[in-house]
Amino acid sequence: MRHQPRQERARQRVDAILQAAEYLLLRADTSDLNTNMIAELAQVPVGSVYQYFSDKDQVVIALLERFRDDIVRHYQQQGTMPLVDALVTPMFTYGGQHFGTSRVLMTPPANPVVLEAVQRVRGDIQQEWAALIRLHLPRLPEDQVLLAADISLTAASSLIVHGSRAKQTASSEAEMALAESTATRIIKQVYPLLNGYFAQISAQHQSSPE
């Protein structure tokens, strides 16, 4: 962002811009997005978009960084939960509410500026997954921790993206409600998938020395 909004009205305007971009990204790729579309949906002058963001890429990057900051706060409060719940619940609840950003994050765009931000944000989230895996599986070697974080995050992300596809074509409230139900059912498949994966790698290292 060019500068942080200080007054409540300015914060509301920036939030409206980000919410508009979030909604548009549910159905459009980052390459299809433009500041006029964002401004029109946000019901603000296009000049207001440029007041805070230099271009559409910076709007998308702001969404990605907000997603990261919020979801990392969730992860840092998950230490006492079972491992898979600790990993998946923040992504399922927060990521599930922000399918547009999730879609960009899990389906890297060709745009190199946005791609760099995607890789940075994904790396930060993966570090949180690795920290939780270390906490719950202390005998797991570090290289296996990093591999497990990468594999499990990729698997969970793929299911979230797959679940979000049903929402992309919804054109009415009834269709959106059905799409959300379908998305929830698909995404919940990640729980048994990851429980089985972590049970397997935990058993493989159970007899390792302290």
Q: Of 1.10.357, 2.60.40, 1.10.10, 1.10.3470, which CATH number belongs to 60-204?
A: 1.10.357
Predicted pLDDT at 48: 92
Q: Report d(CA 69, CA 75) in Å as an integer.
A: 10
Predicted pLDDT at 166: 63
- Picking from 80, 67, 79, 77, the residue whose alpha carbon sits closest to that of residue 160 is 67
Q: Is the pLDDT of residue 210 over 50?
A: no
Element (H, E) at 136: helix 112-136
135-161 per-position pLDDT tens digit: 999 999 999 999 999 999 988 877 777
Element (H, E) at 189: none
Q: Is the pLDDT of residue 3 over 80?
A: no
**Angle subtended by helix axes 83-90 and 112-136, to nearest 10:** 160
Domain segments of the chain: what residues? 60-204
5-52 per-position pLDDT tens digit: 788 888 999 999 999 999 999 888 888 999 999 999 999 999 999 999
- Picking from 44, 57, 56, 55, the residue whose alpha carbon sits closest to that of residue 13 is 44
Mean pLDDT of 102-127: 90
**Angle subtended by helix axes 112-136 and 142-168, to nearest 10:** 120
C-alpha angle 49-5-67 in degrees, rounded to nearest 5: 75
pTM metric for this prediction:
0.84
Q: Is the pLDDT of residue 104 over 80?
A: yes
Mean pLDDT of 171-181: 73
Query: Do the beta carbons of residue 24 and residue 100 sit within 8 Å?
Result: yes
